[in-house]
Structure 1
Amino acid sequence: MEEWKRSIGTLNEEVLIKLSNMLDNSTYIESTTCSLQVLSAAGSPGRSLLAWLAERSCSLDFLLHCLRKMDHQEAVQFLTTAVAEQIQITVQPESQQAAPGSRVVLTCRASGPPGLSYQWFKGKQETGNSSELVLCSLSPAHQGHYICRINHGEKFAFSQWAHVRLVGCAGSSCSSSLFPGSVSGLHIIQQPQSQAASEGDTLILECTVQANPPAQYEWYHNKVLMPQHKTHSLRIPCVTTAQRGEYRCKVFNLYHEIWSNTATVTVGPGSVTDASWVEVDRVIIFLLSTATDKVALLIGNMNYLYHTQLCAPISDVHELTNLLRQMDFKVVSLLDLNWQEMHSAVTEFLLLLDKGVYGLLYFAGHGYENFGNSFMVPIDAPVSYMSEHCLCVQNILTKMQEKQTGLNVFLLDMCRKRNPYDDVIVRPGLLKVTANIVFGYATCVDAEAYEVKREDVSNGIFISFLKRHVCEDEKVTVMLDRVAEDMGRCVITRGRQALELRSNLSERRSLTDKIQATDCSASSSARNLQWAIAHVLPESLYLQFDCGVKIQLGFAAEFSNVMVIYSRILDKPEEIISCSAQLTDFPEDVDIDLKKSNQESLVEAGCLLLIKEELPSPEAHSLYTRIRSLQRLKRDLTFTVCLHYTYSNMDEEVQERQQVTVGKPLVSKLNLHEARPSHGCSASSSFSLDSFNIPGCSSFAEEPSPSGPASNTWSHYAPSGGASFTDGPLASSRIANVPEETDSPGISDNPRSLVASKSLPHSKVNDSNYKFSDMYNFHSY
């Protein structure tokens, strides 16, 4: 039947809503392995499925077949009735041109329930009530636009507009004849017709016209010109699904132009057989490409104790963190970890994983590859390091698979040369056949990875190209292929560094996939809580000194283990002519460059990635101190605020001191410096990961220290503004990897944003900006 060849997209909104509700409640949808609700704004997996099919111009007949295969009798009956009752225009009225006194017939026909009635209108005036409108003795009064309304009870449908125009007559309202004895103009006498084709068929669309002068033709597919087709007949042999969509023909001569009606072409399997159901399975699999959550661990090692210092990891981790957070990843970003800290960080990362979660591990630093296994080198690795001093990536993958993750992505920005000091053959656990693993290596086997060193900031070659494509809504492997192509076009790396992709990914998994909107499970709540605890900053503090000076202390996160503290004078008595607040007496656990502490700008404080948008006013003058290696903090962070001030009638400077305790900020709560429980270590393994499955071994679950005025309890960082950690990433203000003030509302009248993130412009990775003399190996022997 003709009506069943129509596209699913022709169904009206009411029918689509009812049908999607039936699909949502069907046994088939409920038995799938993953909820589809996240794919639709309305939260309907059935509606998402219908929309997906409609976008591909699948026919109603194909949908009916799918419903029968699902044995959804209620939906089959409803769709059959809806199609029978839906008004569908089968013949549209066509615009026409004719000479005065001639006869013009406009035709409109529709299918649907019995008893359809027709109404013709010229503007707002009703001019007829049958399927054909006959205009006799055509005159200037007949010129204009006509439309037909088809009715059945309260339901109705309108045709397209048809323009009737006089030609060859005298007067301003008629077109003059340029050729004696003939009519000048265009008239389509055969419109291209909508049709359904099977893959491999030959598609033929015809558009026949009467034209004087002769006509030329242009065919358009989905509003895009098809320059190779310039005749009245469009012929495409061996069609595929790529030829689905809408076709129109533009006909023109020296004086006129006219467009044909739209012809909709659907392309499906050769016949409605089991092959059709295979397509439905593909649809379901595509729609199931959603994540229950997305978490990422990013490690950048630069300041090695016994090996070449690196520059790029700080910038690479910073930029990738920002990009991943834009895609709703929960990101932990860490700089300069020793072996114990890397081991503990990976342990915590594995505890964030669960069934269906997307897990991503990025490492930038020294590395090597032996016997097919990749090893990440900690900053405390000895000169002649071996596998026992490093972390084996394949061991981590084995443990990730035990979590039944939905996607496992490893981006390894390190060298892969053979380590001559290491003859031990590490034997990781057997990998499961999961078809969801992707390895993106910055370089090939037995090759080095490079970074570009510049005055302001350095980037690794890999990230320079990865950041162009990582946010694209493409299958992960497709995205990395584009990165590899770009790297291959870079002159200075050609023949020296090339991305290598290893994958067994069978489904269309993308880093941009939505997170499944399901009821908050216990594991999801724990995962959000674990992640949130590692990203809590102390609240702003307000110190009142005996001299009357009021000081604000603000805190900002540069990385998960790097924090910036600023001191700002909020108020001072008039008799004090100058004052400043400096921070001193920090614990030995953390890393602070005393020469760069208490600086007037972020750059002077060592925050090369952060810039101040505008200089602070004299009333809000600030000093900045950058604290690194928070993962080594063994107790609450305590320091002294030393206030220096001078009275107007005194030459001597006066000092006041106050000790401040702010708890354990950011990742310091995880106690990464502590060894995790272990049940033994195999001699053939670089380290034991047995503890990864031990419930309760994570420091995430530990209660934060209650000491200090900024006690980091759960109530401390549950925002009053209504944001919930169980809904995914933190509130939008904390998603970007930019420092953020934690001002308490009502205390400061005009709180300022501390800094903005600095993203390297795309132009900075052009070939012309690279010089080989500026390049350094990530790893050398």
Structure 2
Amino acid sequence: MADWNLGMGTLSEANLNGLAVMLDNAKCGWKQLATAAKDQPRFRCSESELTNCSLQVLNCTGSPGRFLLDMLAERGCTLAFLLQCLRKMEHHQAVEYLTTAVEQIQITVQPQAQQVLEGSRVVLSCRASGPPALGYQWFRGKEEISGGNAPNLVVPFLTVAEQGHYICRVNHGEKFIFSKWAHVRVIRSGNSSSEASSTFFSATSGLRITYQPKHQTVSEGEAVLLQCFAEGNPPPQYQWYRNKEPLASATQPKLKIPCVTTADRGKYYCRVYNLYHEFRSNEVSINIGPSSMYDANWKPDEEDGSIGPTRQLSNFYATDKVALLIGNMNYLHHRQLRAPMADVHELTNLLRQLDFKVVSLLDLNRQEMHSAVTEFLLLLDRGVYGLLYFAGHGYENYGNSFMVPLDAPASYTSEHCLWVQSVLQRMQERETDLNVFLLDMCRKRNLNDDTIPQPGPWKVTANIVFGYATCVDAEAYEVNKDDLSNGIFISYLKKRLMEDEKVTVMLDRVGEDMGQCRITQGRQALELRSNLSERRALTDKIQSTDCPVTSARNLQWAIAHVLPESRTLEFECGVKVQLGFAAEFSNVMIIYTRILEKPKDIEHCTAQLSDFSEDLEIDLKHTNQESLLEVGSILPIAECLPQPEVPKLYTRLKALQRLKKELTFTVCLHYQYSNLEEELQERQTVSIGKPLVSKLNLHEPRVPHCSSSSSFEFNSSSLTESSMMAEGLGEPSGMSSSSTSATTCWTYYSNPGETSEVPPSTKVNLPEENLDTDECQPLSAGKSLPCTRVDDISYRFSNMPDFHSF
């Protein structure tokens, strides 16, 4: 078999040139290969190196693709990594070419000599490993057999003329290999009685296994196929066993497991039998690897030759990674906060870079938070990494944490909030491999609430990580500076989140960093709780699968992240207006308008949006503004939009989760002819369906179901039925600004039940003085969310769609 760990230098000049020809194109070529190779730092190409590749076209025999391949070879690129990159960029032709060039055809099952009675059925088998789509040709002597183009050659009624030496030619393109010769001899019924009797027994009651099952090493979620073929008369029957126990309904020559899990790991064999004989196939192993438990280094077992893992622990993987981020700021009855928007924005950007499917939501009431958690739970399953982050008001009583929704009354209790431990329990029931809770909220006691909720029975697991932004009975703070703000926790977390370390180690370092900040000492300290027994990290790679569960999860996530397509409106006066759409969060959308064309006699025109659907509460200050900053957005305009063409007017729509019907609005065109003083108007009504998270109808109650049906419920007897329907996601108790000036000032997540009318003198630990924040300056949120052209990238869940029109 081929060794894919060899370097690219082992490829012949002809093979390298053949690959270069396939890569010398703009659509799926060397540029895309250079992008795919960036996964490994040593294979990253600088701008000057990519320019050198481009300049190769100036030479009469130059090839950018060959130049790049030579660079990768010099840096020690293996054949396996090259194949991985070609698959990632979906260059199927190059994948097949490289596989053919590297894989050697090898006969695994040779045809066997046979002696049978005249008129009997004969089956010759030849099987080979190597490149995909191998071809087979059967010959008797030098004569090719018509129709003999399969691994099995069947002769239904053997005659004397058909006896002789048979051979099979296995080929792939120009490569081929021949099997061994197999002599087929015909025994006539007129032969000696002993010979006839012996042959008759073999033909009528014989049984022989012609193909043995093979050891399998696969990743969790992949398909497994075990095969065992036999021939005999009467025809053989089959029964598969796992760990010496018969498998129900596994009575065919092929045993297929479409979506393998760790429960399928074990020893397998097949019992083959007919009326007269019974045989057992070789016992083989199904191993899950490179597994979530062992290294990718697999070697034969010394005892039975089966493939098994070495005992050296190494990297883990996830079958998927999903995150729900909630930031509550504009509370109805409590201090309004500033940091959650910037915090959710920063964390969203970082998690997407780690290939998390991120749902980011701002300002949710109780019902919306419950529904959001219910939908989030649908994205969780065995092997998935789940992360839930909350920024806002919160409290902790008797070891139980509660997240405060936007509409919580002034004197709220657990009945009005979301119980963190119950959410975690529902996550555990989804059998995830890692559950991470990051709670950026206060943990002060709520004196209005004396309820001690009792969760149901917990499963014994070792996959939970709690990261509290502050310790018990303390506040969580934010730093406000100009119009941007970050919480202390996120200010330090974003510097460590991308580190390839066990998640608890990474959070420990965040806590150490926070401890070095002079202005937080004695006010806020990170607390970490964990029972994680494995070295799982947020940077772990995803081993994608074709399981129906995975496909359903992808669809469920994608439904909440569909933006309307850009469109062009034509008005009677000849003006053409373009509408574009961008997603700032999963429930916040930006609409921009610009004039594409206008007749020469029209001197001035603008297109403004109005008359939005009644479901949305529109802030007129955030409509029809000339910059993103003016509409309250933190999307970086310089990175999102091509220059020098810049959209003329922006409108920011919040709280899309409350949209009950399709979103409609009016585009009002104001224009003026050069020879007239009067301004004219034309209107068009536009309907864009239900964008982004509005499709999930989070405003609707979710009926609790059992965990097996992938839904969410509360079973605590201490909570009322109404609170059960409301609990799902929670927010940390928030930070408020004591001043709107541009100077940096401190605020804190207020205590539960505290209102802004309480005089400052009665509040505890509310510093009003300006503090030096040189040791914990928040990074600019304006550069945290990369915006890319959707048309220029392959659709993947780590890429949030932004402006659709370009």
Range class of TM-score, shorter chain: 0.5 to 0.7
Instruction: Determine if the alignment matches structure 1 residue 360 to structure 2 residue 394.
Output: no
Shift of 1:649: 1.0
CA shift in 2, pair 1:437/1:742, >3 Å: same
Counterpart secondary structure, 2:542: coil
Instruction: Determine if the alignment matches structure 1 residue 542 to structure 2 residue 564.
Output: no
Structure 2 residue aligned with 1:599: 625
Instruction: Determine if the alignment matches structure 1 residue 500 to structure 2 residue 537.
Output: no
Counterpart secondary structure, 1:440: strand
Shift of 1:593: 1.5
Shift of 1:432: 1.2
Structure 2 residue aligned with 1:385: 412
* Corresponding letter in the other structure for 2:575: V
Structure 2 residue aligned with 1:401: 428
Structure 1 residue aligned with 2:301: 68
Q: Distance in 2 between matches of 1:396 and 1:324?
A: 21
* Corresponding letter in the other structure for 2:262: T
Instruction: Determine if the alignment matches structure 1 residue 650 to structure 2 residue 676.
Output: yes
Counterpart secondary structure, 1:438: strand
Q: Distance in 2 between matches of 1:9 and 1:723?
A: 30
Higher relative contact order (CA 8 A, sep 6+): 2
* Corresponding letter in the other structure for 1:396: V
Instruction: Determine if the alignment matches structure 1 residue 569 to structure 2 residue 569.
Output: no
Structure 2 residue aligned with 1:26: 215
Shift of 1:721: 8.1
Q: Distance in 1 between matches of 2:726 and 2:601?
A: 65
Shift of 1:27: 5.4
* Corresponding letter in the other structure for 2:719: S
Shift of 1:661: 0.4
Instruction: Determine if the alignment matches structure 1 residue 671 to structure 2 residue 697.
Output: yes
Shift of 1:427: 1.1
Is 1:539–1:554's contact at 8 Å kept on the other side of the alignment? yes
Counterpart secondary structure, 1:554: strand
Instruction: Determine if the alignment matches structure 1 residue 553 to structure 2 residue 592.
Output: no
Is 2:217–2:307's contact at 8 Å kept on the other side of the alignment? no
Shift of 1:722: 9.3
CA shift in 2, pair 1:27/1:51, >3 Å: closer
Question: Which range moves more in the overlay, 427-436 or 611-620?
Answer: 611-620
Structure 2 residue aligned with 1:122: none
Shift of 1:691: 11
1:379-778 alignment, distance < 5 Å: 379-518=406-545, 520-612=546-638, 621-678=647-704, 682-685=716-719, 687-688=723-724, 723=794, 729=797, 734-735=799-800, 740-743=802-805, 751=806
Is 1:399–1:689's contact at 8 Å kept on the other side of the alignment? no
Unaligned runs of at least 5 residues, structure 2 = 11-77, 81-101, 105-128, 131-212, 220-259, 266-286, 706-713, 729-789
Q: Distance in 1 between matches of 2:716 and 2:693?
A: 29
Q: Could you list the per-position Cα deviations for residues 608-645 of structure 1 after superposition, in whole angstroms to 9, with x for gaps in the alignment? A: 45333599889755100000000000100000000000
Q: Distance in 2 between matches of 1:333 and 1:494?
A: 31
Give aligned pairs, total. Answer: 475
Q: Could you list the per-position Cα deviations for residues 509-563 of structure 1 after superposition, in whole angstroms to 9, with x for gaps in the alignment? A: 1001111133x11111111001001000000111000000000000000000000
CA shift in 2, pair 1:314/1:46, >3 Å: closer
* Corresponding letter in the other structure for 1:648: S
Unaligned runs of at least 5 residues, structure 1 = 1-7, 37-42, 54-62, 77-276, 693-718, 744-750, 752-781
Q: Distance in 2 between matches of 1:659 and 1:455?
A: 38
Is 1:428–1:685's contact at 8 Å kept on the other side of the alignment? no
Shift of 1:35: 11
Q: Distance in 2 between matches of 1:341 and 1:74?
A: 52
Instruction: Determine if the alignment matches structure 1 residue 297 to structure 2 residue 324.
Output: yes
Q: Distance in 1 between matches of 2:324 and 2:372?
A: 8
Shift of 1:429: 2.0
Q: Distance in 1 between matches of 2:354 and 2:657?
A: 26
Is 2:453–2:716's contact at 8 Å kept on the other side of the alignment? no
Question: TM-score, normalising length from structure 1?
Answer: 0.56
Is 2:6–2:79's contact at 8 Å kept on the other side of the alignment? no
Is 2:476–2:524's contact at 8 Å kept on the other side of the alignment? yes
Q: Distance in 2 between matches of 1:353 and 1:665?
A: 23
1:136-147 alignment, distance < 5 Å: none
Q: Percent identity?
A: 64
Q: Distance in 2 between matches of 1:663 and 1:741?
A: 17
Q: Could you list the per-position Cα deviations for residues 485-505 of structure 1 after superposition, in whole angstroms to 9, with x for gaps in the alignment? A: 000000000111000000000
* Corresponding letter in the other structure for 1:584: S
Q: Could you list the per-position Cα deviations for residues 158-188 of structure 1 after superposition, in whole angstroms to 9, with x for gaps in the alignment? A: xxxxxxxxxxxxxxxxxxxxxxxxxxxxxxx
Is 1:441–1:501's contact at 8 Å kept on the other side of the alignment? yes
Q: Distance in 1 between matches of 2:431 and 2:673?
A: 67
* Corresponding letter in the other structure for 1:68: D
* Corresponding letter in the other structure for 1:294: K
Shift of 1:592: 2.2
Structure 1 residue aligned with 2:374: 347
Q: Distance in 1 between matches of 2:599 and 2:804?
A: 26
Q: Distance in 1 between matches of 2:431 and 2:614?
A: 41
Is 1:676–1:691's contact at 8 Å kept on the other side of the alignment? no
Counterpart secondary structure, 2:629: coil
* Corresponding letter in the other structure for 1:404: E
Q: Distance in 1 between matches of 2:339 and 2:644?
A: 35
Q: Distance in 2 between matches of 1:404 and 1:49?
A: 16
Which of 333, 336, 341 is 1:309 aligned to? 336
Q: Distance in 2 between matches of 1:495 and 1:488?
A: 9
CA shift in 2, pair 1:472/1:652, >3 Å: same
Q: Distance in 2 between matches of 1:362 and 1:639?
A: 33
Q: Could you list the per-position Cα deviations for residues 563-598 of structure 1 after superposition, in whole angstroms to 9, with x for gaps in the alignment? A: 000001000111100000000011232232202310
Q: Distance in 1 between matches of 2:290 and 2:335?
A: 56
Counterpart secondary structure, 1:688: helix
Shift of 1:68: 3.5
* Corresponding letter in the other structure for 1:33: T
CA shift in 2, pair 1:52/1:523, >3 Å: closer
